[in-house]
Amino acid sequence: MIYPPEGSGVGKGQEALLLSVAEQLKQPLLYIARSSELALMEDELDRSVLRDMESHAAMALKLLDSYILGVGVASQQAALELESVSLSALLSDVAHELSPLAKQYDVELEVMLDGKYGPVMSHPQALRAALHSLGGVIVGLPTNQRQTIMRLGAHKTDIGIVTGVYHSSMHRLPGVKGIAEDPKRAERRQPFAEIGGGSAAGVFVAQQLFRCMQTSLDLRRHKGLQGFAATLQPSKQLALL
């Protein structure tokens, strides 16, 4: 398994990330192809199959959009311009987009914001893409629990608003701490190999996008769940009021 190196410049790191993205895209595309073939063999088309195919296609397209955005910023070697963003509205939108995929994996999807706070400084398109990329990977974590939960959560700390995606089975994954702390020193195996042979490309894409938003992706906990999150700063516009 290739781990994209630190830094946001183009070159070998981008080649490794592109390979990781291609590996992750294989799974939804294979599912779509096989489901289409089976559906065409049936006398009556099953609409549930169509809905599953649509969710897989949407996930693949979102990952590509996120990767393209990250590469575009990295090629300019500049940080994204941050603006005031309503976190509650953005998290709700991302949850709505991930809802079909969560249903397919029989995962309960929730949005939880602890405390009261206003907008944060971020880049709305990049933040949406990063959270969606994380959710697209994390939603498929293997579980032996009766109730599986994936949470889009945010909570206030002394250093900012910690925002990310959490899962009730994240703590069971070997190697997950290594990929969050230092991809180059992580174990030489796929940390998310348990996800149907998929890839952790969505995590790498999110890492890159958060770096471009002047923050980092870390392994964090939120009300009993473990996941990946980044620290965002409260809106500077409100601070001046």
Q: What angle do CA 23, 148, 201 make, to 5 degrees?
A: 15
Let me know if residue 4 belongs to a domain.
no
**Residue percentage of the chain with pLDDT more than 90:** 33
Mean pLDDT lowest among 75-79, 186-190, 235-239: 186-190
How many distinct structural domains can be found in the chain? 1
Let me know if residue 5 belongs to a domain.
no
Which pLDDT does position 83 carry in this prediction?
Answer: 93
Let me know if residue 1 belongs to a domain.
no
Let me know if residue 108 belongs to a domain.
yes
Let me know if residue 81 belongs to a domain.
yes
pLDDT in tens, 107-147: 999 999 988 888 999 999 999 999 998 998 888 887 777 88
Residue range(s) defining the domain that contains residue 133? 12-239
- CATH of residue 134's domain is 3.30.565.10
Does 182 or 169 have the greater pLDDT score? Answer: 169
Does 218 or 231 have the greater pLDDT score? Answer: 231
Sequence-distant (6+) residues with CB within 8 A of 226 are 166, 167, 170, 171, 176, 219, 220
Q: What angle do CA 217, 220, 225 make, to 5 degrees?
A: 130
Q: Are 107 and 139 in contact (CB under 8 A)?
A: yes
Which pLDDT does position 130 carry in this prediction?
Answer: 92
Let me know if residue 2 belongs to a domain.
no
